[in-house]
Amino acid sequence: MKPRDRKDELAVAQDFRRQLQDRVGTRAPVKPREKIQKWFESDFGILSELAAKTLGDANYEGIVESLKKEVAATELASPHDEPLTRTILKNLCEEVEAACHEQGIPLRSGVAFGSTASMATEAARYPVFFTEASVITFSLGFLSFCSHASKLIAMSLPHKPAGTSFRIYFDIDSVFAHINANKDLKRQWMELIGAYAYGSGPTIVPSQGISGAPALTRIQLLASMERFAIAHEYAHHVADHGKRERASAEGDELGKLEEYEADFFAIRICRYLESKETARNFHLASGTGGVLLLKCLECVRRARHILVHGVDMTASHSHPETSARILAFDLIDEFLCEPNQQLYKHARDSFSAVVDRLWRGLQPLYVRMHKSGLRPI
Ligand SMILES: [Zn+2]
């Protein structure tokens, strides 16, 4: 067979991605580009308001304007691609690809990246057989979950003024004193995890307004969660993971190892990206963004398990237990100097403990929902 070049292989991967989208179908309405452009024109006020809610006091008009131009210029590789999601994903994936390129990490024949209309929280990389290319997809539910969760986490952290700036407290006692003082936050956590576990998170979790210092924290958290997730999937592509005989009696040990490897790669890429940014992002550098994403996704999986079976699960089936993965982040810190090594570990452990305590509070509520007959879609 005549060897195909990189471009041909990427085209095969794009075709495979379209087939994967077909399998999911188009449950969420696909907005054609003209419709989005029109929406930008007619609803500029609403969009600016939405951006202001998200970004607080930042220069949101400029951001809406530049996003509008980017959406207009984004090529849609598949009829199922929704232009706004495609643009956001393109920016994120190209950033990780540039980081790989600058660090001399070969991307083989490349990646056909994109989203599916699924409401579940799925991030996946598929090898494209007989090629050196991969497909990386994120479900609508996954992207929307990062957005909702980053906002609620930021709102749950006490921010106190300190000179011209502010200090964020993330030790377990301060965070719970803040959450317990605000009934709305407890309800929102129950709704967020419950709605995504039920299977319709993107459509039923309302968009909350956020402003001031928490809005800035939210942007940093969202950026670090998304970059961690994308770099993790790129790791599976770079190392060509997943080509093995599945599931032995001892469990999929090689599969677990690949998850650790992908996390290591993701943290390193995140640290590299952070070092290039003009504004520092603690969550991107320390790995707390990744920790929070993994922990919150674990809550969704466990809540779903409860809604189906009535009881909590002890370990994840396809990924090594989340706490073991997070502990392994410590090994990557060996390359850091003090005080960062201690600081980063302390922050990751603290955030991890916060989500564990949150889960202990939420778990009985989902058991009660199961008892009253609620089952996921
Ligand atoms: Zn993985």
Q: What is the pLDDT of residues 11-57, one digit of tens each?
A: 999 999 999 998 887 655 566 677 777 766 666 555 665 565 555 55
Residue 8 has pLDDT above 80, yes or no: yes
Tell me how far the alpha carbon of residue 268 lies from the centroid of ligand 1, in angstroms.
15
Tell me how far the alpha carbon of residue 228 lies from the centroid of ligand 1, in angstroms.
11
In terms of pLDDT, which residue wins out, 268 or 55? 268
Q: Which of 95, 119, 140 is the last residue of a domain?
A: 140
Tell me how far the alpha carbon of residue 233 lies from the centroid of ligand 1, in angstroms.
6
Residue 1 has pLDDT above 50, yes or no: no
In the chain, the percentage of residues whose pLDDT exceeds 90 is 60
Crossing angle (nearest 10°) for helices 288-309 and 322-332: 170
Average pLDDT of the segment spanning 71-81 = 83
82, 206: one domain: no
User: Is this model's pTM higher than 0.85 or not?
Assistant: yes
Domain count for the chain = 2
Nearest to 1 by CA among 131, 160, 146: 131
Largest Cα span, the chain: 68
Q: Which of 140, 175, 194 is the last residue of a domain?
A: 140
Residue 2 CB-density burial (10 A; 0-12 exposed, 13-18 middle, 19+ buried): exposed
- 87 phi and psi, to 5 degrees? -65, -45
In terms of pLDDT, which residue wins out, 212 or 31? 212
Distance CA 265, CA 231 (A): 7
> Around ion ligand 1, which residues have CB less than 5 A away?
259, 262
82, 213: one domain: no
pLDDT tier at 69, thresholds 50, 70, 90: confident
Q: CA–CA distance from 159 to each of 141, 146, 154, 216 (Å)?
A: 29, 21, 9, 11
Tell me how far the alpha carbon of residue 331 lies from the centroid of ligand 1, in angstroms.
18
194, 323: one domain: yes
Report the pLDDT value the prediction gives residue 51, as an integer from 0 to 100: 61
Q: What is the pLDDT of residues 358-371, one digit of tens each?
A: 999 999 999 999 99
Q: What is the pLDDT of residues 106-164, one digit of tens each?
A: 999 999 999 998 899 999 999 998 999 999 999 999 999 999 999 999 999 999 999 88
Tell me how far the alpha carbon of residue 64 lies from the centroid of ligand 1, in angstroms.
33
Q: What is the pLDDT of residues 304-349, one digit of tens each?
A: 999 999 999 875 554 568 889 999 999 988 878 888 889 999 999 9
Distance CA 146, CA 85 (A): 13
22, 106: one domain: yes
Q: Which of 140, 170, 197 is the last residue of a domain?
A: 140
Q: What is the pLDDT of residues 162-195, one digit of tens each?
A: 988 889 999 999 999 999 999 899 999 999 999 9
Distance CA 133, CA 238 (A): 9
112, 190: one domain: no
Q: Are 145 and 327 in contact (CB under 8 A)?
A: no
In terms of pLDDT, which residue wins out, 200 or 352? 352
**Residue range(s) defining the domain that contains residue 322:** 141-371
All residues at 6 or more sequence positions from 256 whose CB lies less than 8 Å from its CB, including other chains? 319, 320
In the chain, the percentage of residues whose pLDDT exceeds 70 is 87
Residue 266 has pLDDT above 70, yes or no: yes
Long-range contact list for 158-164, CB < 8 A, 24+ apart?
159/212, 159/213, 159/214, 159/217
Tell me how far the alpha carbon of residue 259 lies from the centroid of ligand 1, in angstroms.
5
Quote the strand ranges of 77-183, DSSP E.
110-116, 123-127, 133-139, 159-162, 165-168
Q: Are 190 and 131 in contact (CB under 8 A)?
A: no
269 assigned to some structural domain? yes
Nearest to 281 by CA among 201, 216, 375: 216
